[in-house]
Amino acid sequence: MTTTDAGADRVAVRADDTAPLTILRQGCAIPAHPLALDDDGDLDDRHQRALTRYYLDAGVRGLAVGVHSTEFAIREAGLLTPVLELAAETVADWARHSTLLIAGACGPTPQAVAEAELAARLGYHAVLLNPGGLGGVDEEALLDRTRAVAEVLPVVGFYLQRSVGGRYLSPEFWTRMALIPQVLAIKVAPFDRYQTLDVARGIHQAGRAADLALYTGNDDNIVVDLLTSFDFGNGAGHQRVDVRGGLLGQWGVWAARAVELVELARRARAGESDLYPELLALSGRLTDANSAVFDARGAFRGCIPGIKQVLKDQGLIRSTRCLDQKEVLSPGQHAEIVRVRREHPQLTDDAFVAAHLDRWLA
């Protein structure tokens, strides 16, 4: 990765028209789509559409909408359907290649199934099934919920860190989830190497290493995850479970660089070993940047406003307002964001955004 505006050329290139679910299995950079609001808290259609256009022109092959970065409160605010519709319509109008659309689904089984059915009607290809907020629901019930949703659309499983509503899930749970044929990917975001390994081992034990994609959501270890192959077995039983891509709120900002990063990691794992020093040097930079954007010092309370602040500073949205007005930047967080943008220009795509912003807003 360099600080040149490599992304500017990407806009004009028509990529191959790979089927969306093949894209999911192969691995790619998938931004978790933020929500653009005005200062009054109303949906800002123009800037919401501009964000989607930005991600597409940055070269992403997939988008996740209705997930944590899109704000779970869109459901209570009556915005789930409009936001999902707007993203799907913009992709249909703007994309120069086949694009994977993943919809977030939340809540107990009836709610999650209903949200998957809505996504299917709108042309989405898969569901990211959020395990948070289900309190006393045991692992068996979570698996039954997964099977019910998988009857509607293919599922991306999700290991969510405890600090934002996740829970510990046993290694056996992940093996059993991987045995569900319609589970095509799992996002690991426990921020814990042992629990990340549990998911990879579950994929191996289910015999799904070849066709079930592991995606990183570990914001504290993005680059290292992208370079990681988990080895299991010996001799004829040897298998590798690779981290094939990332589905990240972090990639809601600086998306052109995220696409480059995934490609560099792929090339490094394919044998271009000279790329490892550059990538490992970037690892610390990206973790530092994420700590500011996601408000690690404030226990992640300012993570969504942090994403919005970067996008606002670039002109992609007008306000850092969230649906939940208690979600605001932590004291000193904006100064930290300014610092990491200054210290880590390798990670930003400001020139790319500036070159195309007027088109996206038109």
10 Å Cβ neighbour count for 284? 12
Where do the structural domains in the chain lie, given as residue ranges?
7-361
- The CATH class that applies to domain 7-361 reads alpha beta
pTM: 0.94
Long-range contacts of 299-304 (CB under 8 A, 24+ apart): 299/163, 300/163, 300/164, 301/327, 301/330, 302/327, 302/328, 302/329, 302/330, 302/333, 303/164, 303/249, 304/34, 304/68, 304/69, 304/71, 304/249
Instruction: Specify the amino acid at residue 321.
Output: R
Please give the chain's pLDDT, 362 residues, in tens: 643 344 444 444 344 557 999 999 999 999 999 999 999 999 999 999 999 999 999 999 999 999 999 999 999 999 999 999 999 999 999 999 999 999 999 999 999 999 999 999 999 999 999 988 787 889 999 999 999 999 999 999 999 988 777 889 999 999 999 999 999 999 999 999 999 999 999 999 999 999 999 999 999 999 999 999 999 988 888 899 999 999 999 999 999 999 999 999 999 999 999 999 999 999 999 999 999 999 999 999 999 999 999 999 999 999 999 999 999 999 999 999 999 999 999 999 999 999 999 999 99
Q: Are 156 and 129 in contact (CB under 8 A)?
A: yes
